[in-house]
Amino acid sequence: MKVLVINCGSSSLKFRLIDTDTEEVMARGLFERIGEEKGRFTYIPGEGEKDAVDMIIPDHYEAVKHLIYAITDKDRGVIKSLEEIDAVGHRIVHGGDKFAHPVIIDDKVISEIEECSHLAPIHNPVNLLGIRACMKYLPDTKMVGVFDTAFHQTMPEEAYLYGIPYEYYKKDRVRKYGFHGMSHEYVSAETAKMMGKDIKDTRIITCHLGNGASICAVKGGESMDTSMGFTPLAGVIMGTRSGGIDPEIVNYIAKEENKSVQEVMDILNTQSGLYGVSDQLSSDVRDLTEEYDKGNPDAKRALSKLSYSISKFIGSYFVVLGGVDAITFTAGIGENSYLVRKLVCDRLGALGVRLDEEKNKNVKGAMMISSEDSKVQVYRIPTDEEMSIARQVVKTIR
Ligand code: ADP
């Protein structure tokens, strides 16, 4: 099958055309600064050269129109006609507790996604824009919605409920949803493959560490618990997000600093995390590593807090899973920072985790980085959310 995968942000649209029989990426591209004065469209056909053009992209409809021109173009295109596309897979951030699986999109599904929009007021409306734009230009092609939250719908009640009055769950759906589902699902499946095991027989802790970060306890291929919560603000400390804190702090800072609750929430989302703890040195692990190596105490404090916070979740998920066979690092930091992987694993000695320092420093592709005598295998596996979406589209349609 040929599947077009669409991932819409508020001012961006990423796409990939994938031949799912071979998992070959036939074409990929990115529209940036949609709706702004100066936009940019980057296009890469197959193994070909990258093309980047500056252009005004008024809205997501225009972006879809240009992506169709690009993939069907006489010279740089990769298909002759749109009829070759069997399905379009859309990444949708929030499926609430309505969607535990990907779905074929129809009018009813669209209104249900709209109903979930109050849970993700920035993301879901933009995801819907992408769906509507594709429906306009590909009216006869099946559309499938794949949800970031769906993978975590297997969490038991004791994991997803908060210790607040039950009526807020019943009435307002306040519960843990979890995010990065496609990534956790993809890397846990890849980890099982690398272990040479049926995923049903595995207990894996996946660490998706990007600007946003979450840890997930995966048993037999199903999410049992995850660190993000009702929103992506919860869990480990992140680039600029605080992760989990005592909620009373919000009230206290608002009073002490004469700010509104909304202003304090903005600080927790955009001025906290590594950026906040490093006393505004940087939210980026590349900068922090450079400073850490020079002995900068702000960088040391931030990276210690990060590795402490991640290792605590891993420790608690060891209990949730009743033991662990593998720990997998993925996403921007997880894939690229040997230092964060080392700082985290150095704290996991009690679980019998031992890194192979050489392998950890010289990673390439998906590989095991733990030493022969480690009780738990440790992997570095590049995530691929678009491939995960394409795989799920095939499953849904078949
Ligand atoms: P997002 O959540 O925005 O998708 P990414 O998964 O792209 O984030 O991760 C971005 C983060 O990855 C950067 O902020 C940076 O901290 C980290 N990162 C990227 N490359 C490297 C590298 N070579 N070394 C260390 N950290 C890196």
Contacts with 16 (C-beta within 8 Å, 6 or more apart), sequence order: 4, 5, 25, 27, 28, 29, 386, 390
CATH architecture assigned to 197-380 = 2-Layer Sandwich (3.30)
Measured in Å, residue 212 CA sits from the centre of ligand 1 at: 9
Give the burial class of 250: count Cβ atoms within 10 A of its Cβ; 0-12 exposed, 13-18 middle, 19 or more buried. middle
Ligand 1 atom 3: residue of nearest CA:
211
Distance CA 250, CA 318 (A): 31
CA 29 to CA 103: how far, in whole Å? 25
Provide the pLDDT for residue 122.
82
Tokens of 227: 């660190």
Compute the distance between CA of residue 367 and CA of residue 222 in angstroms, rounded to an integer.
22
DSSP 229: -
Low-confidence ranges of the chain (pLDDT < 50): none
pLDDT of residue 116: 87
- What local confidence, expressed as pLDDT, does residue 90 receive? 98
Q: Which atom of ligand 1 is nearest to the CA of 212?
A: 2
For every residue of 149-208, DSSP letters joined together read: TGGGGGS-HHHH--SS-HHHHHHH--S---S-HHHHHHHHHHHHHHHTS-GGG-EEEEEE
| Domain locations in the chain as residue ranges | 2-147, 197-380
Give the per-residue pLDDT at 118: 86
The structure's pTM equals: 0.94
List active site positions. 148
Among 337, 360, 363, say which to mutate for ligand 1: greatest number of ligand atoms within 8 Å of CB.
337
Testing ligand 1's pocket by substitution, the residue of 148, 285, 385 carrying the most ligand atoms inside 8 A of its CB is 285
Calculate how far, in angstroms, residue 283's C-alpha sits from the geometric centre of ligand 1: 10
Helix (H, G, I), strand (E, B) or coil at 211: coil
pLDDT attached to residue 341: 98
Query: Measured in angstroms, how far is the CA atom of residue 88 from the centroid of ligand 1?
Result: 28
Which atom of ligand 1 lies at the shortest distance from residue 383's CA?
A: 6
Q: Give the nearest ligand 1 atom to 331 CA.
A: 6
Task: Mention every residue, 6+ apart, whose C-beta is less than 8 A from residue 88.
Answer: 3, 4, 5, 6, 134, 138, 141, 142, 143, 144, 393
Task: Determine how many CB atoms are found less than 10 A away from the CB of residue 274.
Answer: 27
CA–centroid distance, 388 to ligand 1, in Å, is 20
Per-residue pLDDT tens digits for 241-271: 999 999 999 999 999 999 999 999 999 999 9
Sign of CA pseudo-dihedral 291, 306, 263, 279: negative
CB 89 within 8 A of CB 389: yes
Instruction: Give the residue, by CA position, lying nearest to ligand 1 atom 22.
Output: 336
Rounded to the nearest 5 percent, the helix, strand and coil shares of the chain are 45, 20, 35
- Determine the atom of ligand 1 nearest the C-alpha atom of 337: 25
pLDDT of residue 112: 94
* DSSP SS3 for 90: strand
Distance 78 CA to ligand 1 centre (A): 30
Ligand 1 pocket list (CB less than 6 A): 210-212, 239, 284-286, 289, 331-333, 336-337
pLDDT of residue 233: 95
Class for domain 2-147, per CATH? alpha beta
pLDDT at 10: 84
Give 67 Cα–ligand 1 centroid separation in angstroms. Answer: 27
Which atom of ligand 1 has the smallest separation from the CA of 289?
25
